[in-house]
């Protein structure tokens, strides 16, 4: 397969020769060269458990294109790279046709994201209350902090910082008075030590999840927390909707189940402290916008809601398939 860093040679010796160095740890598959596209390979390994028992789940519909990275949801968001399923740990993952997709986020400007500020604030207040039950205070790092909405809510109990790649988003967060590291998580100084790291809708975007999880283990204090929100590919909505499940989008390279998510964190010295459902709060107006990737349903609901009082009605949804997990670092 061309262009994926997740397709590797079958033996440790082959992997070492392909990288020009010693074999890499689990979850850090080795590319076959330094060009933008990798050469052919014989095997695809799961990025969570390194099993070679992976089968095709969904074929590629995105090709060489960059996936949609904005919040102005439409049918194009459903175009994906080839998606595989691991027979051992149940993880699903994409095989992108280009490397270092994280660089694409640096130039993202997303005015549609700003339209959801009020809804996010309502959700984030609920999240902070839950986290506060496990950790009363300390230093908190929000990965993918965007324009700083969660930092604004969390600062009621924590000393907050963010990590954000987008120049546009990080500038807004900085102008709001927050410290933002404009880098990938592994580049954050190892001298930093946090009581809580949060990732809201972010963990599925990582091309090399173990590299990011190793950075979390390095940055979190013993007994500290990592809090995650992502989809659950073993959930009822995912099984019913299949490729139409709302997390099956081009930007999501890792599609977790509760099993694969817990397995990855356990491999880095974490234990599950709590797992529940993400309290997604939205106005009906913006909820219908999110349905934009489903043209028929989205069109009907917009017609019913947008020009009526219903557009300002707020609801909190506890949807199956929206995982909210808290992991505690052992020690």
pLDDT tens for residues 148-192? Answer: 999 999 999 999 999 999 999 999 999 999 999 999 999 998 777
Query: Measured between alpha carbons, how far is 61 from 66 in angstroms, rounded to an integer?
Result: 12
| DSSP letter (8 states) at residue 149 | H
Task: Pick 316 or 57 by higher pLDDT.
Answer: 57
Q: Token pair for residue 284? A: 């009906």
Residue written as token pair 């209350």? 129
Q: For 223-259, how does the pLDDT look when each residue is reduced to its tens digit (9 = 90+)?
A: 999 999 999 999 999 999 999 999 999 999 999 999 9
> Does residue 316 or residue 96 have the better pLDDT?
96
Computed over every residue of the chain, the mean pLDDT equals 84
pLDDT at 244: 94
Decide: 221 and 116 in contact? Cβ < 8 Å: no
pLDDT band at 38 (very low <50, low <70, confident <90, very high): very low
Instruction: Tell me if 285 sits within 8 A of 306, measured CB to CB.
Output: yes
Higher-pLDDT residue of 72 and 83 is 83
Q: Name the DSSP letter for residue 100.
A: -
* Per-residue model confidence as pLDDT tens digits over 247-296: 999 999 999 999 999 999 999 999 999 999 999 888 776 666 666 555 65
Q: What is the dihedral of CA 211, 269, 221, 176, to 10 degrees?
A: 40
DSSP string covering 36-95, please? SS----SEE--TTT--S-EEEEE--SSTTSPPP-SSS--GGGG---EEEEETTT--EEEE
What is the pairing mode between strands 179-181 and 158-163?
parallel
Domain boundaries defined on the chain: 1-45
Mean pLDDT is highest, among 15-29, 67-81, 172-186, for: 172-186
Mean pLDDT of 16-22: 33
Find out whether 170 and 197 touch, Cβ atoms under 8 Å. no
User: How many Cα atoms within 13 Å fall on the side-chain side of residue 190?
Assistant: 4
Q: What is the per-residue pLDDT for 287?
A: 66
Alpha carbon dihedral 271, 200, 190, 175, in 10-degree steps, equals: -150
Residue 120: what pLDDT? 92
Q: What six digits make up the tokens of 321? A: 């398939």
Q: How far is CA 227 from CA 140, 148, 201, 209, 240, in A?
A: 11, 17, 11, 15, 27
DSSP class of residue 23 equals P
The reply to whether the predicted model has a pTM over 0.75 is yes
Element (H, E) at 236: helix 236-241
């Amino acid at each position: 397969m061309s262009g994926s860093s997740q397709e590797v040679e079958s033996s440790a010796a082959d992997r070492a020769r392909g990288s020009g160095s010693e074999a890499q740890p689990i979850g850090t598959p080795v590319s076959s060269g330094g060009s933008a596209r990798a050469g052919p390979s014989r095997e695809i390994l799961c990025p969570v458990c390194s099993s070679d028992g992976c089968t095709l789940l969904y074929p590629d519909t995105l090709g060489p294109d960059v996936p949609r990275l904005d919040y102005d949801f439409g049918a194009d968001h459903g175009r994906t790279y080839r998606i595989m399923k691991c027979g051992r740990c149940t993880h699903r993952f994409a095989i992108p046709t280009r490397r270092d997709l994280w660089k694409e986020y640096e130039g993202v400007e997303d005015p549609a994201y700003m339209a959801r500020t009020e809804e996010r604030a309502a959700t984030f207040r609920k999240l902070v209350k839950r986290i506060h039950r496990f950790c009363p205070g300390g230093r908190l790092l929000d990965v993918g902090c965007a324009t700083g909405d969660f930092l604004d809510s969390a600062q009621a109990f924590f000393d907050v910082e963010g990590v954000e790649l987008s120049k546009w988003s990080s500038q807004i967060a900085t102008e709001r008075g927050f410290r933002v590291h404009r880098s990938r998580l592994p580049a954050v100084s190892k001298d930093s030590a946090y009581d809580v790291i949060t990732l809201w809708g972010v963990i599925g975007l990582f091309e090399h999840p173990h590299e990011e999880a190793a950075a979390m283990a390095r940055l979190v204090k013993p007994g500290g927390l990592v809090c995650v929100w992502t989809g659950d590919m073993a959930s009822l909505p995912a099984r019913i909707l299949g490729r139409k499940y709302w997390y099956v989008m081009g930007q999501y390279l890792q599609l977790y189940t509760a099993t694969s998510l817990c397995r990855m964190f356990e491999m880095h010295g974490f234990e599950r402290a709590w797992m529940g459902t993400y309290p997604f709060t939205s106005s009906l107006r913006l909820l219908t916008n999110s349905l934009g990737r489903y043209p028929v349903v989205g069109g009907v609901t917009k017609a019913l809601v947008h020009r009526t009082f219903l557009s300002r009605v707020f609801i909190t949804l506890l949807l199956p398939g929206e995982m909210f997990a808290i992991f505690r670092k052992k020690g």
